[in-house]
């Protein structure tokens, strides 16, 4: 069982090494991890994976790989070595040896981070599509007040950004909509909350989740700027610890707070398909009507660029294809799907 699962993870690493974005900040680590996983003796990695799969059996290969990179980077930033793991200029054999040595000596500490945290990468541009889709939904169905819950919210940036037209205007021009974007509308927000798996991520952890490259440095600067722009009176966002895999507690939260819109962005790829089905069932069954569940996930489990957006309406488990985005960091093309009209009306799908 262990060898089969490790082989699947090794194949996922090899696929991620072929990501078309090239040296985007994590590719050097993926290459290094692939070499360690293929080594005849990889006791530190094997012990770490065995511990992780016992504590988080539903974790996907893509999430395990990214989370291992983040946990190692966290260790490097705190202790200063072995930073060569992330340096693509160094020979692969040297980088792999450094990673193998780290996992032998400090594998338990790395495993504890992986068992306690998730990939909490926070993109400043990802609110652009929810802003337009939820605005269109609220207008089309005459929703007087949107009571919104953001699942896997990280530091709560996305719900803080909603209705911030200044932030929207900065980032929106970098998206090209095909055939056209729905018009910008202010969402009639009545209640805004974000939840995430405890312990709640910190800004320091989010910083660690950004890859070691100039590209990710610019993305993190956008996060800091957006946070500052979103500190405005009257836009309070409640953040609560809640594991989305705790279906009874999640359903009770939705019901108690009369939530009618749920967003869940780049979270479900972290788990197996059964978890996705259970979350959809739980959320759609507890939403106030008219209700909307909006999901964004990588198109190819982080092995390629892009993401796909689906929506679910009023208790239905049938996905509505809202859009495809060429770059999951929301710079590039958005191709509107046939489900957009069912959510936002004919004017939103032109």
Cross-strand partners of 241:
196
**Could you tell me where the DSSP H helices lie in the chain?**
2-16, 27-38, 43-55, 61-79, 92-116, 128-140, 157-161, 165-171, 203-209, 214-229, 247-256, 273-286, 340-344
The encoded tokens of residue 151 equal 């699942």
Confidence check: pLDDT of 43 > 90: no
pLDDT for position 311: 98
Confidence check: pLDDT of 208 > 90: yes
Cross-strand partners of 181:
none
Integer-rounded Cα Rg, in Å, for the chain is 20
pLDDT for position 61: 94
Mean pLDDT over residues 195-215, rounded?
93
- Rounded to whole angstroms, the Cα distance separating 161 from 229 reads 8
pLDDT for position 21: 62
pLDDT for position 81: 67
For residues 318 and 312, is the Cβ–Cβ distance under 8 A?
Answer: yes
Strand order in the sheet with 332-336: 175-178, 332-336, 320-325, 307-313, 292-298, 261-265, 146-151, 189-196, 238-241
Highest mean pLDDT among 215-224, 233-242, 301-310: 215-224
For residues 295 and 310, is the Cβ–Cβ distance under 8 A?
Answer: yes
pLDDT for position 222: 97
How confident is the model over 118-167, as pLDDT tens digits? 999 999 999 999 999 999 999 999 999 999 999 999 999 999 999 999 99
For residues 194 and 262, is the Cβ–Cβ distance under 8 A?
Answer: no
How confident is the model over 29-42, as pLDDT tens digits? 999 999 999 988 87
Mean pLDDT over residues 220-234, rounded?
88
Confidence check: pLDDT of 350 > 60: no
Residue with tokens 């359903």: 251
What percentage of the chain carries pLDDT values higher than 70? 95
Confidence check: pLDDT of 217 > 70: yes
pLDDT for position 41: 80
Neighbouring C-beta atoms of residue 29, cutoff 10 Å? 27
């Amino acid at each position: 069982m262990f060898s089969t699962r490790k082989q699947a993870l090794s194949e996922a690493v090899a696929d991620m090494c072929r990501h078309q974005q090239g040296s985007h900040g994590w590719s050097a680590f993926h290459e290094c991890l692939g070499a360690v996983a293929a080594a005849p003796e990889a006791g530190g990695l094997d012990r770490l994976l065995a511990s992780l799969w016992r504590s988080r059996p539903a974790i996907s290969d893509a999430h395990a790989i990214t989370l291992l990179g983040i946990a190692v980077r966290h260790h490097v930033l705190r202790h200063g070595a072995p930073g060569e793991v992330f340096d693509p200029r160094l020979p692969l054999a040297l980088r792999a040896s450094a990673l193998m040595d780290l996992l032998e000596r400090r594998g338990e500490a790395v495993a504890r981070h992986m068992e306690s945290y998730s990939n909490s990468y926070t993109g400043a541009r990802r609110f652009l599509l929810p802003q337009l889709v939820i605005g269109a939904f609220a207008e089309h169905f005459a929703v007087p007040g949107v009571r919104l819950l953001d699942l896997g919210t990280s530091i709560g940036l996305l719900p803080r950004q909603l209705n911030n037209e200044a932030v929207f205007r900065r980032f929106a021009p970098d998206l090209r909509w095909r055939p056209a974007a729905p018009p910008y509308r202010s969402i009639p927000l009545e209640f805004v909350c974000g939840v995430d798996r405890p312990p709640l991520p910190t800004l320091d952890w989010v910083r660690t989740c950004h890859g070691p490259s100039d590209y990710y440095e610019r993305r993190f600067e956008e996060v800091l700027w957006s946070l500052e722009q979103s500190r405005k009176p009257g836009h309070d966002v409640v953040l609560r610890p809640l594991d989305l895999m705790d279906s009874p507690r999640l359903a009770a939260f939705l019901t108690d707070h009369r939530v009618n819109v749920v967003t869940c962005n780049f979270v479900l790829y972290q788990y197996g398909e059964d978890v996705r089905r259970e979350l959809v069932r739980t959320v759609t069954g507890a939403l106030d009507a008219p209700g909307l569940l909006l999901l964004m996930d990588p198109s190819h489990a982080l092995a390629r660029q892009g993401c796909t957006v689906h929506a679910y309406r009023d208790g239905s488990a049938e996905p509505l294809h809202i859009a495809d985005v060429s770059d999951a960091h929301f710079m590039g093309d958005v191709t509107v799907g046939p489900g957009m009209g069912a959510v936002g009306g004919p004017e939103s799908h032109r």
